[in-house]
Amino acid sequence: MILAKRPEVDRFLKSPDPAVRAALFHGKDRSGVGERAVILSKTVTPDLNDPFNVTLLTDSDIDSDPARLEDALTAMSLMGGRRLVRVRLGEGKPGVDKALAAALTIHADGGFNPDAMLVIEAGALGRESALRKAAEKAAGAVLIACYEDEVGDVSRMTREALAADKVGLTSDALEMFVARLPRERGLMRQEIERLVLFIGPGSGRSIGPEELEQHLGVEPDASLSDAALQAFGARPGPAQAGLRRAFAEGESAVMAVRMTALHLGKLRRINILQHNGAGAKEAAKAAGVFWKQEAEMLRQARGWRLEMLDEVQDSVNAADVASKTTGLPDQLIAERLLLEIAARGRRLGL
């Protein structure tokens, strides 16, 4: 079953049909795919890290041991509640595609644990994909394609996100901001978060084009951005120096982690676009890379493949939580994160 129109997709994500046991999200916008998959997954269980009710598999897991998928879908909950099986696909291997298609068809018909929910995240799947065909045909499954947001959707998302933090933009400023945003949902949300911090969360302020230009005009080689660039470029010394310079300028560790996530998101975007056939310069532009950094970002993207970026994303998420909740010195948390990334980069030969 295909869900294509935004209202019906939104309704399904908010209150999924109990008869649906499998959902396939696919598209070039991997952040949009992941965001929608998480929304649906949280209707099954609020804790996506629950070791008893949640199983997370990758295409490598399924390729190396096909039985793991069936075992996960057959397993019953030990602690009560529904089981959630999440599958994240990367390279789109034909064998994995067929194995998932067969499992989805059986599970959608109730052949495994009928109380389990199967949620699959994939890149853009062609019409020849067996998995895509299976999700389209099965009555107990949905197929949701995630495309880049249109300008109207981006404007709406921006207004809603700003309103949630009690800040806003005038109509002219909103048009200017949306025009400068990269068309990838994860990067857009990070840029909106930066804008909220600039205006002042909870301040009730709305700013116009002139004040917005002060925010947009910040040089991309500012200390935090430069620290992230140096870290992913496998240069620990300059990364550490840039980070300490930013702290001396009054920047926060939380913002340092967010800028690191923003840089990671751009590398991820470049990888995905090139994998889908885009040229290097085209991919860099679409990812919102400043022209002065284009050569370095493309060099980094060649070294940092998607599976490595997924591992770093886990470290970034952990640092983000730790810097806000643990009471540990947050500047040391951010510094350790950048040094860890630089060390990984060196091992990749950057």
pLDDT tens for 152-188 read 778 888 999 999 999 999 988 888 888 777 666 777 8
Q: Which of 50-64, 208-222, 248-262, 301-315 has the lowest mean pLDDT?
A: 208-222
Helix or strand (DSSP H, E) at 169 = strand 168-169
Domain end position, chosen among 217, 236, 251: 217
Burial of 233 (0-12, 13-18, 19+ CB in 10 A): buried
* pLDDT 10s digits, 71-103: 999 998 877 778 999 998 876 678 899 999 999
In angstroms, the CA 245 to CA 223 distance is 6
**What's the CATH code of the domain at 131?**
3.40.50.300
Q: Is the pLDDT of residue 148 over 70?
A: no
Position 240 scores a pLDDT of 92
In angstroms, the CA 225 to CA 255 distance is 10
Domain end position, chosen among 82, 112, 145: 145
Regarding whether 189 and 226 lie in a shared domain, the answer is no
The pTM of the full predicted model, rounded to 2 decimals, is 0.53
Q: How many domains does the chain have?
A: 3
Helix or strand (DSSP H, E) at 128 = none
* pLDDT 10s digits, 277-286: 889 988 888 8
**What's the CATH code of the domain at 171?**
1.10.8
Regarding whether 196 and 330 lie in a shared domain, the answer is no
* pLDDT 10s digits, 211-227: 888 777 554 446 788 89
Query: What's the CA angle centered on 208, arms 202 and 213, to 5 degrees?
Result: 100
Evaluate whether 164 touches 222 at the Cβ level (below 8 Å): no
- In degrees and rounded to multiples of 5, residue 169 shows phi and psi of -125, 145
Regarding whether 161 and 114 lie in a shared domain, the answer is no
Regarding whether 128 and 30 lie in a shared domain, the answer is yes
In angstroms, the CA 217 to CA 260 distance is 19
Residue 9: name the closest of 108, 149, 130 by CA. Answer: 149
Regarding whether 335 and 226 lie in a shared domain, the answer is yes
Residue 54 bridge partners (DSSP): 84
- What are 15's two structure tokens? 């209150």
Regarding whether 10 and 72 lie in a shared domain, the answer is yes
**What's the CATH code of the domain at 313?**
1.20.272.10
Q: Over range 261-266, report the average pLDDT.
A: 92
Position 220 scores a pLDDT of 41
What 3-state DSSP class applies to 22?
strand
Residue 16: name the closest of 44, 53, 51 by CA. Answer: 44
Evaluate whether 186 touches 31 at the Cβ level (below 8 Å): yes
Regarding whether 302 and 198 lie in a shared domain, the answer is no
- What are 124's two structure tokens? 């853009």
* pLDDT 10s digits, 289-347: 877 789 999 999 999 999 999 999 999 999 988 888 767 788 999 999 999 999 999 99
Q: Over range 113-120, report the average pLDDT.
A: 92
What 3-state DSSP class applies to 216?
helix
Task: For residue 122, give the amino acid letter.
Answer: A
Regarding whether 177 and 110 lie in a shared domain, the answer is no
Average pLDDT, rounded, for the chain: 87
| Enclosing domain of residue 176 | 151-217
Report helix, strand and coil shares of the chain as percent, to nearest 5: 60, 10, 30
Regarding whether 337 and 267 lie in a shared domain, the answer is yes
Evaluate whether 21 touches 107 at the Cβ level (below 8 Å): yes
Position 46 scores a pLDDT of 87
Q: What is the rounded (10 degree) CA torsion for 71, 72, 74, 78?
A: 120
* CA distances (Å), origin 205, targets 3, 160, 170, 212, 221: 38, 15, 10, 12, 28
Regarding whether 224 and 304 lie in a shared domain, the answer is yes
9-18 contact pairs (CB < 8 A, 24+): 9/36, 9/144, 12/40, 12/142, 12/144, 13/39, 13/40, 13/43, 14/43, 15/43, 16/40, 16/43
Regarding whether 224 and 204 lie in a shared domain, the answer is no
Regarding whether 8 and 140 lie in a shared domain, the answer is yes
Check residue 293 and report its DSSP letter: G
Bigger pLDDT: 189 or 235? 235
Domain end position, chosen among 159, 193, 217: 217
